[in-house]
């Protein structure tokens, strides 16, 4: 009976949220959000061939999540200017080596969870740059981090079939999937509420949630490498 009850109570969603103290599984912690619920994205640092693909990537998020808006902006790579700049480089913003990651989003936030900057770097030696559809998918994944999502498989779920899975596997995805959209809509439930307030109501995301305890001043923090998409399959 206990097993049946656990099965029935298992969460319908796998999505996980970026949180103030870096641990997506600490569901009592505040999650990260933009307020107002929008961020400008700069493709200025990118070669022309990639600019339109990033715009397509944010457009499908905009179509999927009415409460949040990516807008076109301008700005250089890796600058803490509140603009999400996308670039290609040998090293990620503030973080150095990529390890086995294909791309890394570096976010900066306040102790309230309010995001103040996020920048995306694709590594310059990845096969992703040679395939437009794969590049667009990875851009969509990184923009999911920009808006506040962590990896769907960060806390035990498989994340299979979701955009926010930490591992890039076939088939290619052309849009955020239902679970990804649920996560984003949890952070930004509507276009009129001004975004999340950093707290999670009881019962959401499978756990009873309360306000964080003992959280004092927390400095603006650089996020550690978020994306460890390993190259399981190489494109032709």
Q: Which residues bind Zn ion (CB under 5 A)?
A: 226-227
If the CB atoms of residues 129 and 227 are measured against Zn ion, the closer one turns out to be 227
User: Which residue's CB is nearer to Zn ion, number 173 or number 227?
Assistant: 227
Measured from the CB atom, the residue of 84 and 227 that comes closer to Zn ion is: 227
Total Cβ atoms within 10 A of residue 72: 12
- Return the number of the residue (154 or 200) whose C-beta is nearest Zn ion: 154
Q: Shortest Cβ contact with Zn ion: which residue?
A: 227
Query: Do residues 180 and 144 touch, judged by C-beta distance below 8 A?
Result: yes
Beta bridge partners of 40: 71
Measured from the CB atom, the residue of 223 and 227 that comes closer to Zn ion is 227
Nearer to Zn ion, 14 or 226 (CB): 226
Q: Taking the complex as a whole, how short is the minimal distance between the CB of residue 118 and Zn ion, in angstroms?
A: 12
The distance of closest approach from Cβ of residue 232 to Zn ion in the complex, given in angstroms and rounded to an integer, is: 14
Helix/strand/coil (H, E, C) string of the chain? CHHHHHHHHCCCCCCCECECCCCCCCCCCCECECCCCEEEEECCCCCHHHHHHHHHHHHHHHHHCCCCEEEEECCCCCCCCCCEEEEEECCECCCECCCCCCEEEEEEECCCCEEEEEEEEEECCCHHHHCHHHHHHHHHHHHHHHHCECCCCCCCCCCCCCCCCCCECCCCCCCCCHHHHHHHHHHCCCCCCCCCCCCCCCCHHHCCCCCCCCCCCCCCEECCCCCCCCECCCCC
- Residues forming a β-bridge with 81: none
- Shortest Cβ 164–Zn ion spacing (Å): 7
Query: Are the CB atoms for 188 and 31 separated by under 8 Å?
Result: no
Q: Which is nearer to Zn ion, 32 or 226 (CB)?
A: 226
- Minimum CB separation of residue 60 from Zn ion in Å reads 17
CB 151, min distance to Zn ion, A? 5
Residues present in the chain in total: 236
């Amino acid at each position: 009976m206990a097993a049946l009850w656990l099965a029935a109570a298992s969460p319908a969603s796998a999505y996980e949220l970026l949180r103030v103290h870096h641990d997506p599984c600490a569901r009592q912690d505040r999650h990260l959000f933009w307020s107002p619920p929008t961020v400008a994205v700069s493709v200025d640092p990118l070669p022309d061939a990639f600019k339109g693909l990033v715009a397509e990537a944010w457009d499908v998020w905009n179509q999927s999540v009415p409460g949040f808006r990516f807008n076109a902006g301008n700005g250089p790579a890796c600058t803490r200017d509140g603009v999400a700049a996308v670039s290609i480089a040998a090293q990620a913003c503030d973080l150095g080596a990529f390890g086995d990651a294909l791309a890394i989003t570096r976010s900066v936030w306040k102790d309230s969870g309010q995001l103040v900057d996020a920048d995306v770097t694709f590594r310059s030696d990845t096969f992703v740059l040679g395939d437009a559809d794969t590049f667009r998918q990875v851009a969509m994944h990184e923009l999911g981090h920009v808006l506040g999502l962590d990896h769907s498989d960060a806390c035990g779920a498989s994340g299979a079939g979701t955009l926010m899975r930490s591992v890039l596997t076939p088939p290619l995805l052309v849009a955020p999937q239902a679970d990804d959209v649920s996560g984003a809509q949890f952070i930004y439930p509507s276009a009129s509420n001004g975004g999340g307030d950093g707290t999670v109501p009881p019962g959401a995301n499978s756990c009873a949630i309360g306000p964080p305890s003992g959280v004092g001043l927390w400095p603006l923090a650089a996020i550690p490498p978020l994306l460890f998409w390993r190259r399981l399959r190489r494109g032709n």
